[in-house]
Structure 1
Amino acid sequence: MRELLNASSIERQEAIQISEMKNWMTPYLRYLANEILPEGAEEARQIKRTANWYTIVDGLLYCRGYTTPYLRCLTPKEADCILSEVHFGICESHVDGKNLAFKIMRKDYYWPSMKMDALEFVKRCKNCQLHDILRHQPSTELKSLQAPWLFEQWGLDIIGPFFIATRLKTKLEDAGGSWVDELASVLWSYRTTPKEPTREIPFSLYYGTKEVIPVEI
Structure 2
Amino acid sequence: MPAEWELSDDLPDEDVLMVEIIPPWKMYFDGASHKEGAGAGVVFVTSKGELVINQLLGLYEVKKSELLSYHNYAKRLMGWLGDVELEHLPRRDNKQADALAKLASILSMTDKEARIPICKSWIIPPIFSDDKDDTFQEEENHVMEVFETEEEDWWQPLVDYLKYGKLPSDPRRRIDIRRRATRFIYYKGTLYRRSFEGIFLRCLSDDEKDQAMEEAHSGVCGAHQSGPMLHFRIKRMGYYWPAMVKDCIDYAKRCQACQFHANLIHQPPEPLHPTVASWHFDAWGLDVVGPMTKSSGGHLYILAATDYFSKWVEAVPLKEVKKENVVDFIRTNIIYSYGVSRNFSMYYIAANGLAEAFNKTLFSLLKKVVAKSKRDWHERIREALWACRTTVRTPTQSTPYALVYGVEAVLPLEHQIPSLRIAIQEGLTEEENARLRLEELEALDEKRLEAQQRLECYQARLSKAFNKKVRPRSFQVGDLVLAVRRPIIITHRTGNKFLSKWDGPYVAQEAYTNGAYKLVVEDDLRIGPINGKFLKRYYA
TM range (shorter): 0.5 to 0.7
Inter-CA distance 39–142: structure 2 relative to 1 (3 Å threshold):
farther
Q: Give 1:113's aligned residue.
A: 243
Q: How does 1:195-206 map to 2 (within 5 A)?
A: none
Select which of 205, 213, 218 maps to 1:88. Answer: 218
Query: What TM-score do you get using the length of structure 2 for normalisation?
Result: 0.24
1:46 shift after superposition: 0.9
Q: Give 1:129's aligned residue.
A: 259
1:140 shift after superposition: 4.0
2:250 alignment partner AA: E
Q: Give 2:191's aligned residue.
A: 61
Q: Give 2:333's aligned residue.
A: none
Secondary structure in structure 1 of the residue aligned to 2:498: helix
Q: How does 1:33-182 map to 2 (within 5 A)?
A: 33-140=163-270, 147-148=457-458, 154=465, 173-174=497-498
Identity of aligned residues (%): 34
1:65 shift after superposition: 0.7
1:147 shift after superposition: 4.8
Q: Distance in 1 between matches of 2:272 and 2:175?
A: 46
1:34 shift after superposition: 1.3
Q: Distance in 2 between matches of 1:58 and 1:76?
A: 20
Q: Distance in 2 between matches of 1:66 and 1:56?
A: 18
Q: Distance in 2 between matches of 1:84 and 1:58?
A: 27
Inter-CA distance 51–94: structure 2 relative to 1 (3 Å threshold):
same
Q: Distance in 2 between matches of 1:146 and 1:33?
A: 74
Q: Distance in 1 between matches of 2:263 and 2:171?
A: 47
Inter-CA distance 103–68: structure 2 relative to 1 (3 Å threshold):
farther
Greater share of residues in helix? 1
Deviation track 1:42-100 (CA, whole Å, cap 9, x = no partner) reads: 11111111110111111100000111410000001000111111112221111100100
Secondary structure in structure 2 of the residue aligned to 1:22: coil
1:74 alignment partner AA: L
Q: Give 2:156's aligned residue.
A: 26
2:159 alignment partner AA: L
Q: Distance in 2 between matches of 1:68 and 1:125?
A: 33
Secondary structure in structure 1 of the residue aligned to 2:497: helix
Greater share of residues in strand? 2
Inter-CA distance 142–47: structure 2 relative to 1 (3 Å threshold):
farther
1:139 shift after superposition: 3.5
Q: Give 1:193's aligned residue.
A: none
1:115 shift after superposition: 1.0
Q: Give 1:186's aligned residue.
A: none
Q: Distance in 1 between matches of 2:169 and 2:456?
A: 64
2:497 alignment partner AA: E
Q: Distance in 1 between matches of 2:148 and 2:160?
A: 17
Q: Distance in 1 between matches of 2:271 and 2:497?
A: 38
Deviation track 1:157-188 (CA, whole Å, cap 9, x = no partner) reads: xxxxxxxxxxxx99x9329xxxxxxxxxxxxx
Q: Unmatched 5+ residue regions in structure 1?
A: 1-16, 156-168, 176-217
Q: Unmatched 5+ residue regions in structure 2?
A: 1-146, 274-454, 467-492, 500-540
2:205 alignment partner AA: T
Answer with 1 or 2: which has the greater Rg: 2
1:125 alignment partner AA: C
Q: Distance in 2 between matches of 1:31 and 1:142?
A: 59
Q: Give 2:337's aligned residue.
A: none
Secondary structure in structure 1 of the residue aligned to 2:246: helix
Q: Distance in 2 between matches of 1:68 and 1:173?
A: 44
1:114 shift after superposition: 1.2
Secondary structure in structure 2 of the residue aligned to 1:128: helix
Q: Distance in 2 between matches of 1:174 and 1:68?
A: 43
2:498 alignment partner AA: D
Query: What TM-score do you get using the length of structure 1 for normalisation?
Result: 0.57
Q: Distance in 1 between matches of 2:465 and 2:456?
A: 10
